Chains A and B, each alone.
Chain A
């Protein structure tokens, strides 16, 4: 569905993404793992149009989407969430969700004055949908709460909810589990699995929690130093020498180091 071909992103002399090539299958939940600074988030940012690549190509269903601005990618069904949850802090959770679908008729000045009826109908439908999403995520009690005041984990759920307001094709989740407790993490995991099965979302998940990855993701891609190191099921990845070297480490090796 998404094919990344020899992607480079350099910040001055630092090569954050250094020739990454990978492909993501439709309907999969692909895990993206790797040590800190491996270029995972930069890769996300380049794919999602926040950063321009230095070179390389990104295609989605065969269409070249390299360097398109975020709001255009959004309309093509490519969404992402942030490592640190973002929200419109001064708006309620429901309003946050209602902001999402793009190209609403109320966005133009003309309709604000002369298309009030159409806007009202649209808003009613959106409101119902937002409430549905909040219920799906089990945070319906937060509907009226200002999004700036809810907990970090709840913000992560809200971010996930944002992707449910439109018919997304592919969603990039950047460390959904970071700083989230076990129960909430399970809720998030359930939601991801349900969205994948019921709505046929494709997910790409950056995560450090191996249990979470193991439960959800197949295949798993491991990155290090801006490149793809290995790809396969989690068990294959865990057995891969290079991956162990760069990321997972072994108790034994650490002991050796201590001994030396």
Chain B
């Protein structure tokens, strides 16, 4: 039994990647949940909004890199992020004006808006692939590790190494800052309260003189920022490939629904539930169990419950279970 090494191995392969992935999902799910709360439809275009925002960020990053601008040990992408966000805001406000507004004025049913957003998805997806291509793009620079496994071993003398990637650190810190800002905005500012009021009771908000178009506009701006940040962090941490972002839609929606659609706290909790389920179920436990189990009982196999190829199945199963047992989610959102 070697609990310390077991814990280090667990942190290295499960805890830290899980927290980073959870933060990315949480930021994505927050965007979905806000659109659902205010505009009252499931925005299938969210994954590709993330892709579009990230693409803009990547293009600006490349521009900065070619100009020799950098942030030292931090990735240049952070410097380009505000430009990506600005692009995404223009994109979403433009889409709203051209597409969603029409259906809003018709008072279209949510299901129609869902299909409309699916159409928007394909358009975004096409544009992204047209501009940047369908392949993997690498735009990470700066120092790769805050602490590499080798440094950790040298520092502690332990057998197991603990790697902490710069992108993971950035993801976690950024997520904390963004979530804190968002909650401050929703709970403390008048603009945020109008959003909550509009989400809570649309009729009353309208009859209280809240301008719905302004609420919708602010919502799209926040959603654009959240999507771009989530997308860029995911791209830095893994890699950027347009199709991956479309696939991300499933775990993101699963997160939002598990937490309760329309509930920001739920979106965050849901993000971590999904991330950790995915990571723990697809992780090969051989190493950790090797340290924990008594001599002779250590496993020979990989002890991997499911191949990583099937990781999306995990979110799908969780999604189904939640919809069957508790459709309003953990934090009492709106039922789907």
Please list the residues of chain A having a beta carbon within 8 angstroms of any beta carbon in chain B.
48, 50, 69-71, 74-75, 79-80, 82, 86-91, 95, 99-109, 111-112, 119, 123, 162, 166
Contacts and interface: CB of A to CB of B under 8 A. Distances in A.
Nearest 4 interchain pairs by C-beta:
A102-B209, A106-B190, A74-B209, A86-B204
B201 A87 contact: yes
A50 B203 contact: yes
B185 A112 contact: yes
Given A88-B200, A102-B211, A109-B221, A69 B206 contact: yes
Contact of B208 (A108, A119, A123, A162): A162
26 contacts: A48-B207, A50-B203, A70-B206, A70-B207, A71-B207, A71-B209, A71-B210, A71-B211, A80-B207, A87-B201, A87-B204, A88-B197, A88-B201, A89-B201, A95-B193, A99-B197, A99-B205, A101-B209, A103-B209, A106-B189, A106-B190, A107-B214, A108-B191, A111-B191, A112-B190, A112-B192
Interface in B172-189: 185, 189
Q: How large is the interface on B (under 10, 10 to 19, 20 to 34, 35 or more residues)?
A: 20 to 34
B191 A100 contact: no
B329 to A, nearest CB: 16
Most chain A CB within 10 A, of B192, B194, B204, is at: B204
B204 A88 contact: yes
Nearest to B190: A106
B193 A75 contact: no
Nearest to A113: B189
A67 to B, nearest CB: 13
A109 B190 contact: no
A111 B218 CA distance: 13
A107 B204 contact: no
A108 B210 CA distance: 11
A99 B207 contact: no
A74 B208 contact: yes
Interface string B194-237: 10110011011111111110100010010000000000000000
Nearest to A95: B193
B208 A100 contact: yes
B214 A108 contact: yes
A86 B211 contact: no
B248 to A, nearest CB: 27
Most chain B CB within 10 A, of A50, A100, A111, is at: A100
Contacts of A95: 193
A102 B191 contact: no
Contact of A107 (B200, B206, B207, B211): B211
A76 to B, nearest CB: 10
B203 A107 contact: no
Contacts of A75: 209
Contact of B200 (A50, A89, A111): A89
A60 B68 CA distance: 65
Nearest to A45: B203
Interface in B36-58: none
Contacts of B185: 112
A159 to B, nearest CB: 9
Contacts of A79: 207
